[in-house]
Amino acid sequence: MTCLVLLVVSRLMPQLTFIWYCFVRPLTGAKDQKARLDKFYEGQADVYDATRRGLLRGRKTMLNLCAGHIRTLRVSCPDKRLVWVDIGGGTGHNIELMDQFLPISSFDAVYLIDLCEPLLQVARKRFAIKGWTNVHILCQDASNFELPEWQESSSVDPKGSVGFVTLSYSLSMIPNFYTLLDRIDYVLSSQDGLLGVVDFYTAGKNASLHEKAIGGESKECGWLSRWFWQIWFDFDNVHLSPARRSYLEYRFGTIKSYNGRNRFVLPFIVRMHDSLVIPYYIWLGRPRTADISKTCHAFEVEGGNTVGNCSPASSFNGAKENVTTLNMSPLELGSSIIEQQAESNAVIVNITPPLSSFHYQVNKPWRLPYYEHPVHKEFRTFVYSFTWEDPHVDVEHLELTQDDSMFVITSAGDNALHYAIAANPRRIHCVDMNPCQGHLLELKLAAIQSLDYPDFFALFGEGYHPNFRSLLDSKIAPHLSSSAYQFWRINLDAFSTPSKPFYLHGYSGWALRLARLIFRMAGVEKDVERLCDSETLDEQVQIWQQKLRPVILNPIIVALMRNPVFCWNALGVPMNQRKMLLNEGHAYAYVRDTLDPLLSTYLLKTENYFYLLCLLGHYTHASCPAYLTPSGFESLKSNEGNALNSFRLHTDSIYNVLRGLNSWSLTRVLIMDHLDWFKVNSESVDQEIAQLARVVASGGLVFWRSAAKQPWYNKVFERAGFHVEAVAIRKGSAVALDKVNMYASFWKAIKS
């Protein structure tokens, strides 16, 4: 019994030591910061790392993110000297962790700076075991740290001499944080410098315009959380007031920002209340003096898109004709719409820093800046995990060339990628009011840029990758906007759960899961697999007619298809489009005329990946969109992803984005079934088509699909100066219009 007690006590000793020094032993008699730190840690330095694993969350993620961004930032200057300064690094745990993501041998010099001698003694032992000769320990006050290489000569100016700085749970403990951050800004390289921070924080509920501009999903803290944790940590001289983070985000340009909650270390009864969960954040940034002209230039779309997508005047080289200059800060600009004074004029906005996180991205700026709007909060996730239009038919009629400038609805981005593979047009504007659809297309673009084909197909073909989080942080994140990274960091389970692959997520995932449930209840799961594996059309039709058609075309399923709630939440069919669909006939006939010709025309196993996905919940190598084929993937990835440079992702309404484009700047437009969503004779349709008439060049083409055989808005196009003609109109169940065959008609308008 005595041995058992001793064993329990020995195993609990690190935790007991931690509790004694952190919560019981008084911090009295210390005259300055160094004395306080030495007294606080002198008895617990040896157990520091063992007792902080659960408390100090996010350190590995921050270092992994930084490693990926460093590799990307240094592509243009691989031979430049790389110096890392880890401020408040204590026991050297961060440096040892970083070796997993970016070898310490990659750095010309690593400096660990801390004021606490007991912790530094642990670091010295750690580095001696590792045998690292390029790692140096400095016992200094962080706010005025000096590197030995600066002291070698009085003429050496340290400005811009450091490539990488980290603050891991140390910014909240440093009294002179203003001086510290100013000093870091001075010594950090403006060309390729990176600052990484992870720490505790608190924040109010009402975010400023600046906070909205740099992102920050779930940043706000409730009043109980704010006051409880500020008071709690203040006893140990850890300061969680918003000032530190606010100055950090003001002083530097934000690249990535993630707000998390530490639910691990508190007792269960406390964890039940979200207000008492410790907030922490991970943040990556660059000096605001960084050269972002290339990034900002990309935001000036087609000569000047000014709808929330403005860049600083410094991004322009030389004078421009017919330019109106407006001097505004980004906070004054917000998401307002700036009218062009004349159709042929561009508008340049001189923006004074701080800029949004979009401007400081370290790689290709696919996503145009957008400011959080109340409408965006209505979209909790993406509606479409896959695009429900047949791009093969589109390409037959688009007559695409490399000189075309396209305007498409983002959806899941599958079709936009198909057009890029087919012709590599000069520009592809992808527009969606739902920011989550933009996050999805961003993820695909970033994954194409950064991953090999097997990993890419695992994500978007099979919908599952066991190492998605690692791929996201180390490879994909440098190519994502901060907003997109936050979304996927919060939604890691979308690709990390084998029993619920990616395509079962989002609103469209509800329909796929319901289909699985229906097939399971009807006992036809094996028949579904046989249908998708059929080698011939005759075999496929036989299984369809005998086994699955009676299940899908039964009265209960047909009644469900008529339900407006199900139509919107599961199928993405809005109320007005549902009315158009039912005006063409009853639901039974619509489903019959949709599915019967498909199963007798296209083999699911090799030709029709749309319905294969719906039945299996994933794609196969033999049946998938073009971007998931080896050849399609390679055409997008080759030449350092040159084909991806054409993408510009807008997070706004179609009308607003059109207003921001120059006249005659588009040659091809595909608006899917978008106009079906409006009420008959809606004034908004007149306004939108009028903008299309302005921005589409003479001879340009506009395409749309409709649930109606003769959509009412065709006449609006004709009044606006378009010649309208039908590409195809569905006639019963004899012939499928395309591999989806869900729409009653397909139309083309030619700009006169």
- Which pLDDT score is estimated for 315? 33
Q: CB–CB of 578/564 below 8 Å?
A: yes
Q: CA 518, CA 512: separation in Å to the nearest integer? A: 10
Q: Where are the alpha helices (DSSP H) in 43-176?
A: 48-52, 59-73, 93-101, 117-130, 148-151
d(CA 117, CA 123): 10
Q: Where are the alpha helices (DSSP H) in 135-198?
A: 148-151, 177-187
Tell me what the mean pLDDT of segment 367-376 comes to. 79
Could you give the CA distance from residue 401 to residue 408 in angstroms, rounded to a whole number? Answer: 16
At 95-113, the pLDDT tens digits run 999 999 999 999 999 999 9
Q: Is 669 helix (H, G, I), strand (E, B) or coil?
A: strand
- Which tokens hold the place of 371? 């400011």
**Cα(750)–Cα(752) distance, integer angstroms:** 6
pLDDT at 622 (0 to 100): 97
| pTM across the whole model | 0.86
pLDDT of residue 567: 54
354: which DSSP letter?
A: P
Burial 584-607 (b: 16+ CB within 10 A, else e): beebbebbbbbbbbbbbbbbbbeb
One-letter amino acid at 289 equals T
For residue 480, what is the DSSP state?
S
pLDDT at residue 374 tops 90: no
Q: Per residue in 141-172, pLDDT tens?
A: 999 999 998 987 666 789 999 999 999 999 99
3-state SS assignment for residue 6? helix
For residue 260 the two structure tokens come to 């998390």
Tokens 């469209």 -> residue: 508
DSSP letter at 351? P
How much is the pLDDT for 589? 78
More confident residue, 272 or 10: 10
Query: What percentage of the chain carries pLDDT values higher than 70?
Result: 78
CA dist., res. 486 & res. 256, Å (int): 8
511-520 burial code (b ≥16 CB/10 A, e <16): bbbebbebbe
Which fold does the domain 45-287 belong to in CATH? Rossmann fold (3.40.50)
Residue ranges of alpha helices (H) inside 570-698 are 575-583, 587-599, 609-616, 630-641, 654-660, 683-695
Mean model confidence pLDDT for the chain: 82
Dist. CA 273–CA 281, nearest whole Å: 19
What lies within 8 Å, CB to CB, of 251 at 6+ separation is 181, 182, 185, 288
CA 735-740-743 angle, 5° bins:
75
Is the preceding peptide bond at 354 cis, omega within 30 degrees of 0?
Answer: yes
Which residue shows structure tokens 């991806």? 644
Helix (H, G, I), strand (E, B) or coil at 557: helix
* Cα(40)–Cα(113) distance, integer angstroms: 18
Residue 298 has phi, psi (to 5 degrees) of -65, -25
pLDDT at 51: 58
State residue 392's pLDDT score: 96
Would the pLDDT of 132 be above 50?
yes
Strand partners, 326: 349
> Is the CB of residue 348 less than 8 Å from the CB of residue 324?
yes
DSSP 398-426: H---TT-EEEEE-TTSHHHHHHHHHH--S
Instruction: Using pLDDT thresholds of 50, 70 and 90, give the confidence band for residue 118.
Output: confident
* Angle, in degrees to the nearest 10, between helices 414-423 and 391-398: 40
Rounded CA gap, 289 and 291, in Å? 6
For residue 607, pLDDT over 50 is answered with: yes
More confident position, 332 or 636: 636
Asked whether 656 and 337 are in contact (CB, 8 A), the reply is yes
469-475 average pLDDT score: 96
Amino acid at 610: F
Q: Is residue 478 within 8 Å of residue 68, measured between CB atoms?
A: yes
pLDDT category of residue 220 using cuts at 50, 70 and 90: confident
Length of the chain: 752
Q: Tokens for 629?
A: 């084929």
670 by Cβ neighbours in 10 Å (0-12 / 13-18 / 19+) ranks as buried
Asked if residue 213 has pLDDT above 90, the reply is no
CB hemisphere CA count around 523 (13 angstroms)? 0
Sheet of 696-706, strand order: 647-650, 427-431, 405-409, 666-670, 696-706, 745-751, 722-729
What pLDDT does residue 146 have? 93
For the chain, give every residue range classified as CATH 3.40.50.150. 45-287
Strand order of the β-sheet with 278-287 is 135-139, 109-114, 83-87, 164-168, 194-200, 278-287, 252-262
Radius of gyration of the chain (CA): 29
pLDDT at 742: 86
Instruction: Return d(Cα 558, Cα 687) in angstroms, integer.
Output: 36
Distance CA 315, CA 662 (A): 19
∠ CA 358-687-695, nearest 5°, is 60
For 149, the token pair is 């290489």
Contact criterion met (CB below 8 Å) for 310 and 333: yes
Taking only the tens place, the pLDDT of each residue in 311-357 is 333 333 333 333 333 333 333 333 333 333 333 333 333 444 467 88
pLDDT of residue 385: 92
Structure tokens at 7: 């064993």
What is the b/e burial string over 48-84, where b = at least 16 CB atoms within 10 angstroms of the residue's CB? Answer: bbebbeebbbbbebbbbbbbbbbbbbbeeeeeeebbb
Whether 609 and 387 have beta carbons less than 8 Å apart is answered as: no
In the prediction, which pLDDT does 578 show? 58
H, E, C per residue of 184-197 = HHHHECCCCCEEEE
Q: What is the pLDDT of residue 490?
A: 92
pLDDT bracket for residue 577 (50, 70, 90): low
Q: Yes or no: say if 449 and 392 are a contact pair by the CB < 8 Å rule.
A: no
Residue corresponding to tokens 């395409």: 703
| pLDDT over threshold 80, residue 177 | yes
Q: Is the pLDDT of residue 243 over 80?
A: yes
- Kindly state the helix (H) or strand (E) to which residue 255 belongs, with its residue range: strand 252-262
DSSP assignment of 232-253, as one string? HHHTTT---STHHHHHHHHHEE
Say if CB 355 and CB 312 are below 8 A apart: yes
- Strand, helix or coil at 182? helix
Whose CA is closest to 312, among 278, 336, 288, 281? Answer: 288
